[in-house]
Amino acid sequence: MSADTTFKYSATAGIQHEEPLLFEHAHEAPSSISLPGVDGEISDALNHFARKDAAGIPGLSEPEAVRHFVRMSQWNHGIETGFYPLGSCTMKYNPRVNEQVVRLPGLAHIHPDQPEATAQGVLALLYELQGWLGEIAGLPYVTLQPAAGAHGELAGLMMIRAALDARGDTHRRKVLVPDSAHGTNPASAALCGMHTVELKSGADGRIDLDELKAHLDADTAALMMTNPNTAGAFESDIKEICRLVHEAGALVYGDGANLNALVGVARPGDMGIDCLHINVHKTFSTPHGGGGPGGGPVAVNETLAPFLPVPRIEKQGDTYVLLQHADTSVGPVLGSVGQIGVLLRAHAYISAFGRQHLHSIAEDAVLNANYVLRRLQGRYHVPFPGLCKHECLLTDEVQERHGVKTLDIAKRLIDLGFHPMTVYFPLIVHGAMLIEPTETESRETLDAFCDAMLDIADVCEAGDTDILHEAPVKPFRRRLDETQAARKPVLVWPA
Ligand SMILES: *Cc1c(COP(=O)(O)O)cnc(C)c1O
């Protein structure tokens, strides 16, 4: 690999400072801020509040404190510092104009409890977004309330459950979930009081029709499916799948996290899906690493429309109103009409493309993923050959022969200046590496990433694998015990 690529993209090539904790930094002096002494007695009224012990905050000058936080921020990787190819995540660049839009004072300073009459502008935008999302999904009735994809899954399943109950099917509580599904699918079903049955994927990574038929019965409430699925493959039997589920008296829940592959080109509603959540923070920008704010609007067909959450945004004449009550509604699922900041970014992103060009999102995303697949296949094992949709799936099968695993490859990418791809997901293949470039990356960036991946493959084949097992060597913190960090975080100092 050329030194040039390392130089251009290395996350750690600049002046980087090792950074102690703020408390380790501190001087003896309690603070470098000097306040004038108190002349005479503190008045009786204030005396009660006079501090008796040291404040217990680190003594730092303003520049020391500022540098601490800025240095810490520079240890981060974000979509604005480099390529972020996490699969099943749609980490795309969020255009600056979206940020300008949401910071307009009339939008930024709005309050959820503000009277409708004073919020007509924002309600108009949200109403418009509702319509666009309905059209994109091919499912015209939309709630903007859910705060993320997983929340949308719960809201959607609540509607499905209510619709089944309304027609007397109160025994239908079984939800079929393919083994390639995101973990939130079975979790949402359980939270909704349903139980799940796992469907084993076929040899091509898709839903196996015989497996589906074998599990569909009079207790089945729904099939929860992702299309394209988490292996980046389009479920080409989608129409037959929906027909079979409907014939069995159940409904089809669509996990719309992968809508980036379809937007403006094909509509889940037209394929037979009854209910779809849309991760607007994925498909329509808003960076969401580290669990940042999201939005999971749900679009449904006529069957489920009566059960949509309230309040609902409706238009009466020229006025936008919040419909607060509907007899059949599952009720509110959030304390307001939705995460307005994220929804408005989605509105801005869709507006920038317009109806005519929206399809280029999906086309460019799919093209980019297939470009990466083409450059890497032959050197990395491709478990399900053929064209992929918006993300491509590889495994470590070839590298494992040299004792190198997916984790080593991912960690080496950090040394080469890239955020690793999604690793060990989906679970249906061994040593998965799921790469999703999205439409916002240039060919140069994709080439630099592919060069890095090919360099790793070369190193493997040459047998110099120490550098891969030791990676990452450039960051201050190297291989972390992530399980320990998640299960037993140390949140106080001193520990
Ligand atoms: C991201 C994702 C989810 C969960 O969505 P959140 O917005 O993170 O709650 C569900 N399913 C799939 C396939 C996903 O990629």
What are the Cα distances from residue 116, in Å, to 51, 107, 317, 323? 46, 14, 15, 11
Terminal Cα distance for the chain, rounded: 43
Start and end residues for every CATH 3.40.640.10 domain found in the chain: 97-357
361-476 is classed CATH 3.40.50.300:
no
User: Which of 66-75, 270-279, 287-296, 470-479 is least confident?
Assistant: 287-296
Using CA atoms, how far apart are residues 348 and 342, in angstroms rounded to an integer? Answer: 10
> Using CA atoms, how far apart are residues 359 and 362, in angstroms rounded to an integer?
6
- Taking a C-beta distance cutoff of 8 angstroms, is the pair 138, 325 a contact? no
Q: How far is the CA of 158 from the centre of ligand 1 (A)?
A: 18
3: pLDDT strictly greater than 50: no
Strand partners of residue 400:
none
CA distances from 123 to 149, 163, 358 (A): 22, 28, 23
Q: Considering only CA atoms, which residue is closest to atom 11 of ligand 1?
A: 182
Distance 22 CA to ligand 1 centre (A): 35
Could you read off the pLDDT of 90-129 as tens digits, one per residue?
999 999 999 999 999 999 999 988 999 999 999 999 999 9
> So what's the pLDDT on residue 29?
63
Reply yes or no on whether the pLDDT at 32 is more than 90.
no
What pLDDT does residue 9 have?
Answer: 47
Question: According to the model, what pLDDT value does residue 358 have?
Answer: 97
How confident is the model over 403-429, as pLDDT tens digits?
999 999 999 999 999 999 999 999 999
Q: What is the pLDDT of residue 31?
A: 62
Q: Is the pLDDT of residue 245 over 70?
A: yes
Positions of CATH 3.90.1150.10 in the chain: 361-476
Whole-Å CA distances, 229 to 167, 246, 424: 31, 20, 15
Q: Averaged over 73-79, what is the pLDDT?
A: 85
Which of the four pLDDT bands, split at 50, 70 and 90, describes residue 6?
A: very low
Q: Is 97-357 a domain of CATH 3.40.640.10?
A: yes
Question: pLDDT averaged over the chain?
Answer: 92
Distance 258 CA to ligand 1 centre (A): 9
74 Cα: distance to centroid of ligand 1 (angstroms): 27
C-beta 178 within 6 A of ligand 1: no
pLDDT score for 14: 56
pLDDT score for 4: 46
Q: 382 with 394: CB under 8 angstroms?
A: yes
CA distance 294 to 277: 12
Alpha-carbon gap, residue 82 to 64, rounded angstroms: 27
Report whether pLDDT(60) > 90. no
How many angstroms separate the alpha carbon of residue 214 from the centre of ligand 1? 27
pLDDT of residue 92: 94
Place 50 in a pLDDT band, splitting at 50, 70 and 90: confident
* Segments of 324-415 assigned E as strands: 392-395
pLDDT at 30 over 60: no
pLDDT in the model for residue 10: 47
Contact 238, 107 (CB under 8 A): no
- The residue written with tokens 């909704």 in the block is 192
Is the model's pLDDT at 164 over the cut of 50? Answer: yes
Candidate of 279, 391, 422, 436 to mutate for ligand 1, largest count of ligand atoms within 8 Å of Cβ: 279
Is 87 close to ligand 1, i.e. is its CB under 6 Å away?
no
pLDDT at 375 over 50: yes
Contacts of residue 216, defined as CB under 8 A and 6 or more positions apart, other chains included, come to 176, 223, 244, 245, 248, 250
Q: Is the CB of 288 under 6 A from ligand 1?
A: no
pLDDT band with cut points at 50, 70 and 90 for residue 318: very high
Q: Are 143 and 308 in contact (CB under 8 A)?
A: yes
Residue 26's pLDDT band, with cuts at 50, 70 and 90, is confident
| Alpha-carbon span 384 to 376, nearest angstrom | 14
Q: Band of the pLDDT at 11, cuts 50, 70, 90?
A: very low
How does pLDDT run across 454-471, given as a tens digit for each residue? 999 999 999 999 999 999
Residue 17 or residue 359, greater confidence: 359
What pLDDT is stored for residue 55 in this prediction? 74
User: How many angstroms separate the CA atoms of 351 and 88, rounded?
Assistant: 24
Cα 324 to chain centroid distance, Å, stands at: 30
Q: Which of 9-23, 303-317, 474-488 is predicted least confidently? A: 9-23
Taking CA atoms only, the protein residue closest to ligand 1 atom 14 is 257
**Could you tell me which residue, 38 or 53, shows the higher pLDDT?**
53
DSSP 41: P
Pick from 436, 440, 288: nearest CA to 360: 440
Backbone angles phi, psi at 129, to 5 degrees: -60, -45
pLDDT in tens, 173-201: 999 999 999 999 999 999 999 999 999 99
- The atom of ligand 1 lying closest to the CA of 296 is 7
Distance CA 137, CA 275 (A): 9
Q: Return the minimum-mean-pLDDT range out of 43-52, 277-286, 373-382.
A: 43-52
From residue 481, give the alpha-carbon distance in Å to each of 486, 487, 489: 9, 10, 11
Which residue carries 């460019």 as its tokens? 364
Average pLDDT over residues 203-228: 98
In the reported structure, the alpha carbon of residue 335 is separated from the centroid of ligand 1 by a whole-number distance in angstroms of 21
